Amino acid sequence: MPYSQGTRLPGETASKLGHLNVVNSEWVNSLIRDFEQSTHSTSDPSNTFWAEFTSSDVEPLRNVWAVDGSFVTVTSDDFPRREISFVKTALLTMDRTKIDAIDKDHPHPLHLQDVMTGSAIFHATVFPLRNIRTSIGNNYDTVRHIIRDSMKIDEDGIFFETLKWIVYQKWDSNPTSSPSFGCPHCGNDVQGIPYDADEGICPECKNVVFLSDMVGFHLDMDEESAPESVSSAYMLIMELLMLFTVIRLLWDHTDKHLLSDTLFIKDGPLTLRSQYSKLVPSIRTFLEYAKQTGRPVHIVGQEKSGSFYDHLSTIARFAPPSERGENLHYAVLTHDYVRKEVYRTPDMSNPYGKRTNWGEKLYVKFDPSTYMVLSVPTGAYNEDVDFPNESNIIGLNRILATLPSLVSHKYEGALFPVELANGIASMSSYPSAKILQRFAMDPR
């Protein structure tokens, strides 16, 4: 997803409310008073604990991989409106020593080319969302088959192999079957696909179910149409599979140090919502196993919008560093802090992120005007309200020693590799929407 414009808090917003008649209400008056006051707070009301990072004895990570994705939905002009959705994800790698040589404010195109040459790989597919008929099946089955085929065919199936690697926990020598899931045909529970299989049989209705059905896309669809959320979920899953394809290949690499000398950056939080969270336990198990084996995997997810970003935007100005040249500062957010300060729902019964997150939250402030919300894995999850602390975050020091050289100055709070991946994955590198529309909607 693209970086948004910077948002400096305007000081005079409140006065715009002055002309409303409702200011005669005592309650509205009180609201406006408090609203005006809150823009004048002089300290961080959430008492965030910022720690200073001194990088002198920490070696930065040498290699960087970044992944990003995008999707665009195209609608026909005629009636009934036909709708298809294009999804694109991109993965790129770069040698950090080459990035260091690039001017982050005005990167020279030739330098960029040098960093990028032969280092990017992208994946793209297209889904029918509504009012598209194919001769071999309804919309529901078409999307299911396209998901399976897209994962299996592209790059000779290396991304599909990664799905199997995660689902069947292939880094471990103990074979495991897939998690259970709802059958896409009859809705009954399929108690897992046997180890290493691409598909299975539903014990209830005897129909074939795909391993890709286990991920749960079909739960978002009905027979005749699919919502755009299928595109966004597919994009997120493919970003994950692309990143973990590199992790998988490096895990088996003869040079056992390579994996732990690499930084993996994902656009967005390290989270899989609702049914897609079925992949989370396996991912955590792998990252914990890698940590215990002495081969830590360094991953960061960067959030450029949402509750955490909004919260950090309001408190960042109170945090160090306040002068250029000072050390970067960071704050590891405990579950308790997230509940009380970010979401302000301290009484929620479920521990924060228990089902959905494979990374914990971190605020980082690099210089007076650059700050970021990151998710970084801890491996195993711990539901304690005081979890995590900085010793739980995998590779925190090496990550913090690496990030400053990756900060872009083109967009506020952006990471250079993500910006480049975004450039490859973004719609600007598609043909224009109008051409896509003509291509996709031409009656054959």
Interface residues toward Zn ion, by CB under 5 A:
183, 185-186, 202, 204-205
Q: Which is nearer to Zn ion, 190 or 272 (CB)?
A: 190
The whole-angstrom separation of Cα 365 and Cα 334 is 17
Q: Which is nearer to Zn ion, 205 or 440 (CB)?
A: 205
Write down the least CB distance from residue 289 to Zn ion, Å: 33
Write down the least CB distance from residue 177 to Zn ion, Å: 17
Write down the least CB distance from residue 190 to Zn ion, Å: 7
Write down the least CB distance from residue 200 to Zn ion, Å: 10
Amino acid at 300: V
Looking from the CA of 259 toward its CB, the CA atoms found within 13 Å total 22
Start-to-end CA distance of the chain, whole Å, equals: 34
Q: Which is nearer to Zn ion, 14 or 186 (CB)?
A: 186
Q: Which is nearer to Zn ion, 167 or 202 (CB)?
A: 202
Write down the least CB distance from residue 218 to Zn ion, Å: 11
The candidate with the shortest Cα–Cα distance to 130, out of 80, 72, 70, is 80
Amino acid at 151: M
Beta strands in 19-163 (DSSP E): 51-52, 63-75, 83-95, 120-130
Write down the least CB distance from residue 181 to Zn ion, Å: 11
Q: Which is nearer to Zn ion, 161 or 213 (CB)?
A: 213
Q: Would residue 169 be called left, alpha or beta, if left means φ above 0 and alpha means ψ between -120 and 50 degrees? A: left
Helices 228-251 and 139-153, packing angle to 10 deg:
20
Inter-residue contact 367 to 397 (CB < 8 Å): no
Write down the least CB distance from residue 186 to Zn ion, Å: 3
Residue 189 host element (H or E): strand 189-190
Q: Which is nearer to Zn ion, 183 or 415 (CB)?
A: 183
Inter-residue contact 103 to 112 (CB < 8 Å): no
Q: Which is nearer to Zn ion, 206 or 324 (CB)?
A: 206
Write down the least CB distance from residue 197 to Zn ion, Å: 16
Beta strands 407-408 and 51-52 are unpaired
Q: Is the peptide bond before 388 cis (omega within 30 degrees of 0)?
A: yes
Q: Which is nearer to Zn ion, 184 or 359 (CB)?
A: 184
Residues facing residue 125 across a β-bridge: 87
